[in-house]
Amino acid sequence: MRTDSGTGARRIREISYAEAIREALREELLRDPRVFLMGEDVGIYGGTFGVSAGLFREFGPDRILDTPISEAAIAGAAAGAALTGTRPIVEIPFSDFLSLALDQIGNQAAKMRYMFGGTVRVPLVVRSPAGSGTGAGAQHSQSQEAVFCHFPGLKVVVPSTPYDAKGLLKTAVRDDNPVVFLEQKLLYKDTGPVPEEEYLIPFGKAEVKRAGSDLTIAAWGRMVGMCLDVAERLDAEGISVEVVDPRTLVPLDARTITASAAKTGRLVIVHEAVKTGGFGGEIAALVADSEAFPLLKAPIRRVAGFDIPVPYSPNLERNAVPTPERIEQAVRDLLSPREKLAGSIAGQSR
């Protein structure tokens, strides 16, 4: 078993994001008899998005538990189970409905280890599909990672690739603290290299997905792939964009983000969640409070979802969240002469 953030010289194959998560679940179920999976339709049906397909047949109803449709009951039972020595993994089929379990996750599980002076452990993983793009409407398409970052005691993970999804989920299952693990739905079918050998990815370690020198983009989840596509397109014009993926928002690797911003002198933050109250504001404040701030050549720019419910209409849904065109325009604006940049910022404020 290895703990790192690179694929090295190991045996690699291409599998999907969903398959990588399923592999992580299966391997942890095999490794530790205290681990079990519970949630709505995770058993015979295989999960709302098919991620747990086949696990019920292999591990049976004692390890793969179908539950009633009650997010509060699921999370509360899992928190209690974690306190008594097991290691539950919860699947909530849409992250929007985590709001129904906020008391159990944020007000109970997140606080218990602190309140009991470290004498108890709460090894609970809450997995949930997040984000837009499937035409599921306003109540099933939100990105709410910032909500969970606001509860001290919770760790928050948003992987962008199959490799990261598997390595981070295995780390989450072995953590003795509650972890909210958000899987953006449009990533499930994406494929990428994943080693056959076991590996873990530590929390709090960002990855520079693409090195660059002119501007830094910080992004997570499915926005990472979109930003990489934009960076590749701009590279043909001689514009060098660095893309940094924090991978975990709590704990956050502030050092890698600020070092990149200091190196390039420009920072764009991209996330699918709505702009107001989004975690991008926290990263902007972090950089503004750091040694990187005097080295910036332009203001920090955020490209985020608009402050509206996610529309059902496919065209409206696509344009309610960041698009490659919006990201590219933000990059070009920050690389423009100062006079043009001032005009662009004034236009954004109107």
Catalytic positions = 140
The Cα–Cα gap between 328 and 289 comes to 26
Q: 61 — phi, psi (to 5°)? A: -70, -15
Token reading at 164: 């990261």
Residue 215: CB partners within 8 Å, gap ≥ 6?
239, 240, 241, 242, 264, 265, 266, 267, 268, 331, 334, 335
Q: Report the relative pairing of strands 155-157 and 248-250 from DSSP bridges.
A: antiparallel
Tell me what percent of the chain is helix, strand and coil, each rounded to the nearest 5.
40, 20, 40
The Cα–Cα gap between 8 and 5 comes to 9
Dihedral Cα 285, 288, 290, 295, nearest 10 deg: 150
Measured CA to CA in angstroms, residue 115 lies from 40, 150, 251 at distances of 30, 17, 20
Nearest residue to 279 via CA among 149, 95, 139, 161: 149
The Cα–Cα gap between 157 and 330 comes to 26
Sign of the torsion formed by the C-alpha atoms of 156, 41, 64 and 201: negative
Token reading at 75: 């999370």
Alpha helices (runs of H) in the chain, residue ranges in sequence order: 17-31, 55-59, 71-83, 102, 110-115, 145-149, 162-174, 223-235, 254-264, 279-288, 314-320, 324-334, 338-349
